[in-house]
Chain A
Amino acid sequence: MPETAATTTDATLRSGPGRLLVAVYAVFALAATARGTYQLLTRFDEAPLAYGLSVFAGALYLVAAVGLARAGRTSRMVALVCVCVEMAGVLVVGALTLFWSAGFPDDTVWSNFGSGYLFVPLVLPVLGLWWVLEVHRGDRRETAPTS
């Protein structure tokens, strides 16, 4: 019964902690995209790199939120990739803002490892990664003995 197995994992990725993750990701998607877009439109020449990065981060959060919420096998992969890119992004940009602050005249979500957002951007990819892998493991436990 591959179909029923698929539907149960669909439900598990979405429910419980996953639901909270989707909510948090949605809020961050909104915050980063709205702020970045507005700044790009009004003050492009001040800090194009920082504003562009905000929009990129926002888009990434949005895709991750949708991936977590839809939770098919493909969406799970999409969410996994997004979460990994986020992790890399917050670490690289966090380090860059510490050592090369001239490149970022204005803040992004990832500046100083997300300190402007209570370090949630730093914790979020870890939680996302944990949750996707957790569901993936549960999925394999379920399907391995029967098939």
Chain B
Amino acid sequence: MGGRVVLGSGGGVVDWLTMTIQMVSLGVAVWCLVSFFQDRPMLVPHLIGTGVLWLLVLGQVGAAVAAMVGGDRPDELPMLISYLATIALLPPACAVWGFMERSKWGPAVIAFACFVLPVLLVRIEQLWSPVA
């Protein structure tokens, strides 16, 4: 396992990207909650926020896939791949949900998804490098 130039314990995932995604995700979640309580449907700014989040997540997934192709593989590979697929699909899925539900419950779904996303990232880090 030696010779890796990855800071921290995230294995093939990029630590600072994980931090950024978690921050942005929680930010979008709080913002959507505010919209929910203000009785607003999903609007273009929400979509842009979700889109930015998606790009960051795709960057993370790309880095993880690159690391796996490079031979750095955790023990529970199928689990990890399913988690990566989930985080890649989560932002677009909640955006579609926001389109279908043109009421304040659209932002509520996005807020939920954005609260789940940081948890999934934590699980991915755990999968990649189980606490010794």
Chain A interface (Cβ < 8 Å from any Cβ of B): 15-17, 19-20, 23-24, 27, 30, 34-35, 38
Among B44-52, B56-64, B98-106, the stretch that binds chain A is B98-106
Q: Which has the most chain B C-beta neighbours within 10 Å: A15, A23, A27?
A: A23
Chain B interface (Cβ < 8 Å from any Cβ of A): 78-79, 82, 86, 94, 97, 100-101, 103, 105-106, 108-109, 112-113, 116
Partner pick for B103 among A15, A27, A30, A38, CB 8 A cutoff: A15
Report the Cα distance A43→B73, complex, angstroms: 19
Inter-chain contact B109/A19, CB cutoff 8 Å: yes
Inter-chain contact A19/B94, CB cutoff 8 Å: no
Q: A20-B108, A23-B109, A23-B113 are in contact. Are A15 and B101 (CB under 8 A)?
A: yes
Chain A min CB distance to B110 (Å):
9
Beyond contacts A16-B101, A20-B108, A30-B86: 17 other A-B pairs, Cβ-Cβ < 8 A, are: A15-B103, A16-B103, A17-B108, A19-B97, A19-B100, A19-B109, A20-B105, A23-B97, A23-B109, A23-B113, A27-B112, A27-B113, A27-B116, A34-B82, A38-B78, A38-B79, A38-B82
- The secondary-structure label for the interface of chain A is helix
- The secondary-structure label for the interface of chain B is helix
Which residues of the other chain, A, contact B100 by a CB distance below 8 angstroms?
19
Inter-chain contact B78/A16, CB cutoff 8 Å: no
Partner pick for B105 among A16, A30, A35, A38, CB 8 A cutoff: A16
Q: Which 7 A-B pairs have the closest CB atoms?
A: A19-B101, A23-B109, A20-B108, A16-B105, A19-B105, A20-B109, A20-B105
Q: With CB as the reference atom, state the residue of chain A lying closest to B106.
A: A19
Report the Cα distance A16→B79, complex, angstroms: 33
Inter-chain contact A23/B94, CB cutoff 8 Å: yes
Chain B min CB distance to A37 (Å):
10
